């Protein structure tokens, strides 16, 4: 996740070395601040005023559903701005996700876009994953709690999802 002002600064940095920009042609614009998906979830919760102890994260089971397109890729994916810094003399990003979330992003979502009150869009693919993620274990899955669909696993030996 990259702040648009950082993207603009990268785009204008080609003027520092036009010949190198033409020769290289492609540059990654990103941040040097690496965050896991869990860390992003906690940052979002913090911006929304939700205590970290009240955040529950259940990870996507790639063994069940397989890998898909971005953001679920077959290999690790990392956008590094190193080449832009070296070749173009770009100073790098000046913004951080944590600061952006806390200073303006969440407040715009909540206040200007009616975020918490806005109706959700079609989540059919998400619910397909939710239903497929249900377990028949005693303690079950978090999905059991939120999904109104009841599935009887008593006759199921193995869950096959294509």
What would the pLDDT profile of 43-82 be if each residue is shown by its tens digit?
Answer: 999 999 999 999 988 777 667 666 655 555 556 667 788 9
DSSP 3-state percent helix, strand, coil across the chain (nearest 5): 50, 0, 50
What is the rounded CA–CA span in Å between residue 2 and residue 111? Answer: 22
What global pTM score does this model have?
0.61
- The Cα diameter of the chain in Å comes to 67
What confidence tens digit (pLDDT) does each residue in 7-49 have?
Answer: 999 989 888 888 888 888 788 888 888 888 899 999 999 999 9
């Amino acid at each position: 996740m990259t702040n648009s002002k950082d993207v603009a600064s990268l785009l204008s940095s080609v003027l520092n070395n036009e010949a190198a920009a033409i020769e290289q042609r492609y540059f990654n614009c990103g941040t040097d601040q690496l965050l896991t998906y869990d860390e992003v979830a906690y940052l979002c919760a913090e911006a929304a005023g939700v205590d970290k102890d009240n955040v529950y994260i259940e990870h996507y089971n790639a063994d069940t559903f397989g890998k898909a397109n971005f953001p679920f890729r077959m290999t690790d994916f990392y956008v590094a701005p190193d080449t832009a810094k070296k070749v173009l003399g770009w100073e790098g990003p000046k913004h951080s996700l944590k600061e952006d979330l806390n200073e303006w992003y969440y407040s715009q979502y909540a206040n200007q876009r009616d975020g918490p009150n806005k109706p959700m869009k079609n989540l059919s693919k998400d619910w397909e994953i939710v239903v497929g993620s249900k377990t028949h274990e005693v303690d079950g899955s978090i999905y059991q709690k939120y999904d109104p669909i009841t599935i009887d696993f008593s006759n199921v030996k193995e869950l096959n999802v294509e």
